[in-house]
A and B are shown apart, each in its own frame.
Chain A
């Protein structure tokens, strides 16, 4: 093989490696598992935050046309930051937002809502984080969009305007 060809092949290989690693450098390093997208909302029984005796069955939520499921906690600072967006989704866009109170004290949770407002139509308590694991969540806040019982969208971290727009787009 001619030397020239070898050098060209070398050059091309190096350019390919460069592009590959450039892509790696620019990609989002935080892990965004999207395993649950397309899967059914897992079935679970939770206590209602405001009424200990009421048991909520998540399969009821699965029957609804379009809901946003938001995992939150009173001790979670980014949850405070995203809260106004949730309020606006409820007030302005009339989205049905269901809250999942994660590893929290009910008293603190209620105080949080009193202070910042309550965007949720229902709130279930996930004291041990068991339902969150079924959802493939690993922290707070995380937000899911469930359409007719199927998870169609997931966002890790506090929601922002882009996420809000995405959610509204999905509703149509």
Chain B
């Protein structure tokens, strides 16, 4: 029974979770952090820096660059931090794995705890 659920979960995880209906430009804007603001994306910010980046991204999109290329460009200049949604690379690998690891450890400890009580 549990194995069945595990399989379903893995299957669902492997699907690409795409967010619905978003205009690509806005989608990118919402994903880029405004570095000079406190916790806003460039979409939400009217600061100079945010506006400059928006103009630049708009121009790049018109030139035919795709989303990935734009993120690569910005990350190569400003670091991973500028993109809100973490990509899959070494740094973020731990990010994606840690919850599972913590859960396993926690579950294991509690399981041991309960089993010890049984005896």
The answer to whether residues A136 and B78 also contact, given A103-B48, A129-B48, A130-B56 and a CB cut-off of 8 A, is yes
The answer to whether residues A134 and B77 also contact, given A31-B35, A139-B36 and a CB cut-off of 8 A, is yes
Q: Is A122 an interface residue when CB atoms closer than 8 A count as contact?
A: no
Q: With a CB–CB cut-off of 8 A, which chain A residues contact B81?
A: 31, 33
Q: With a CB–CB cut-off of 8 A, which chain B residues contact A33?
A: 35, 77-79, 81-82
Interface string of A92-110 (1 = CB under 8 A from B): 0000000000010000000
Q: With a CB–CB cut-off of 8 A, which chain B residues contact A49?
A: none
Q: Is B36's CB under 8 angstroms from A35's CB?
A: no
Q: With a CB–CB cut-off of 8 A, which chain A residues contact B36?
A: 138-139
A120-165 contacts to B (CB < 8 Å): 128-130, 133-136, 138-139
Q: Is B108 an interface residue when CB atoms closer than 8 A count as contact?
A: no
Where chain A touches its partner, the secondary structure class is loop
Q: Is B52's CB under 8 angstroms from A35's CB?
A: no
Q: Is B49 an interface residue when CB atoms closer than 8 A count as contact?
A: yes
Q: Is B78's CB under 8 angstroms from A35's CB?
A: yes
Q: Is B76 an interface residue when CB atoms closer than 8 A count as contact?
A: yes
Where chain B touches its partner, the secondary structure class is helix
Min CB–CB distance B46 → chain A (angstroms) = 15
Q: Is A46 an interface residue when CB atoms closer than 8 A count as contact?
A: no
The answer to whether residues A133 and B76 also contact, given A31-B35, A138-B35, A138-B36 and a CB cut-off of 8 A, is no
A11-39 contacts to B (CB < 8 Å): 31, 33-36, 39
Q: Is A138's CB under 8 angstroms from B79's CB?
A: no
Interface string of B45-57 (1 = CB under 8 A from A): 0001100110110
Complex CA gap A36/B76 in Å reads: 7
Q: With a CB–CB cut-off of 8 A, which chain B residues contact A134?
A: 77
Min CB–CB distance B34 → chain A (angstroms) = 9
Q: Is A133's CB under 8 angstroms from B75's CB?
A: no
The answer to whether residues A133 and B52 also contact, given A138-B36, A139-B36 and a CB cut-off of 8 A, is yes
Give 28 pairs: A residue, B residue, CB < 8 Å, sorted on A.
Answer: A1-B112, A31-B35, A31-B79, A31-B81, A33-B79, A33-B82, A35-B75, A35-B78, A35-B79, A36-B77, A39-B76, A103-B48, A128-B52, A128-B55, A129-B48, A129-B52, A130-B52, A130-B56, A133-B52, A133-B53, A133-B77, A134-B77, A136-B78, A138-B35, A138-B36, A138-B49, A138-B78, A139-B36
Residues on A facing B (Cβ under 8 Å) = 1, 31, 33-36, 39, 103, 128-130, 133-136, 138-139
Q: A39-B76, A136-B78 are in contact. List 4 more A-B contacts (CB 8 A).
A: A33-B35, A129-B48, A130-B56, A138-B36
